[in-house]
Amino acid sequence: MQIGIASDHGGFELKEELKLYLKSMGHEPIDLGTFNEESVDYPDYGILVAEKISKGDLKKGILICGTGIGMSITANKFRGVRAALVNDLFSARFCREHTDANILVIGGRIVGKEVAREIVRIWLETPFTGERHQRRLEKIEALEKKNFKF
Ligand code: RB5
């Protein structure tokens, strides 16, 4: 599967590591930057992956910044994006089963490489449960369509 991946400088090292891991699993990481450790602004890179998911050009994406917080806030502005900030294995499973997360966000300064790899594996291998969880996602979708302006 093609998987979009991007980071800021705080997530660069882990991004490089996870690209290798994705390839070893037979996936094709689509690297949208950043390409070195120079300081950059995380929204500039979060947008690139979130846009592709929102348009349907890619089905799944991975974003990494220092904490994962900025990237998840950015990605969740996009319609159809369900970005889950996951720094533990339990959340990796349930962000798929219950919330069908299509973007995985990891804090590069929070989790080590081995835990991050395991998070990615679980997130990729766990299917969405559907049923009552589908109804809940439909409520989120309805919210997106309202396009609130206060
Ligand atoms: C960059 O220093 C840092 O703010 C960023 O990587 C991220 O943690 C933001 O949420």
Which tens digits make up the pLDDT trace of 73-96? 999 999 999 999 999 999 999 999
Nearest ligand 1 atom, CA 67: 8
Q: Which residue has the higher pLDDT, 149 or 129?
A: 129
Look at domain 2-147 and name its CATH class. alpha beta
Closest residue by Cα to residue 105 from 138, 45, 148, 61: 61
- pTM beyond 0.75: the answer is yes
Per-residue pLDDT at 145: 87
Please tell me the predicted confidence (pLDDT) of residue 65.
Answer: 98
Check if 46 has its Cβ closer than 6 Å to any atom of ligand 1.
no
Enclosing H/E stretch for 7:
strand 2-7
- Predicted local confidence at residue 47, as pLDDT: 98
| Helix 89-97 and helix 113-125, axial crossing angle in degrees, nearest 10 | 20
Q: What is the dihedral of CA 43, 125, 88, 56, to 10 degrees?
A: 20
Active site (annotated) includes residue 95? no
pLDDT at 97 over 80: yes
Q: Name the closest-CA residue to atom 10, ligand 1.
A: 70
Provide the mean pLDDT of the chain: 96
- Burial class of 95 by CB neighbour count within 10 A (0 to 12, 13 to 18, 19+): buried
98 is catalytic: yes
Question: What is the average pLDDT across 13-36?
Answer: 98
Atom of ligand 1 nearest to the CA of 109: 8
